[in-house]
Amino acid sequence: MNKERWLQCLGSTLWPSFLAAAVASVVFFASIDPETLRMQTLPGWEVSRMAGYTIGFFMFWAVALFSSSLTYLLSGGGNRRHE
């Protein structure tokens, strides 16, 4: 895979997954407080509210990146020829 194709793959997976993670974070954290979630699920951990938002965003990004990467691979994105 040449550099141009590699950058295209990164651009077509990272950017949409970032946007999806941003939207998912806004929707999720509009109704769920990270501090309340932490107290109910992991009461022994000392995590600030801001760290909860950050961890949540990166978890959403990881799931969306997996989805974008799978879509890219299944659509034949790595095998396309530029004419």
Residue 72, token pair as written in the block: 């890219």
Residue 17, token pair as written in the block: 């997954």
pLDDT digits (tens, 9 = 90+) for 24-33: 999 999 999 9
Spatial separation of the C-alpha atoms in residues 6 and 15, rounded to whole Å: 14
Q: Give every CB contact of residue 50 below 8 A, 6+ residues apart in sequence.
A: none
Percent composition of the chain: helix, strand, coil (DSSP 3-state, to 5): 75, 0, 25
- pLDDT given for residue 2 in this prediction: 87
The mean pLDDT of 1-21, rounded to a whole number, is 89
Average pLDDT over the chain, rounded to an integer: 89
The answer to whether 57 and 27 have CB atoms below 8 angstroms apart is no
Predicted structure pTM score:
0.82
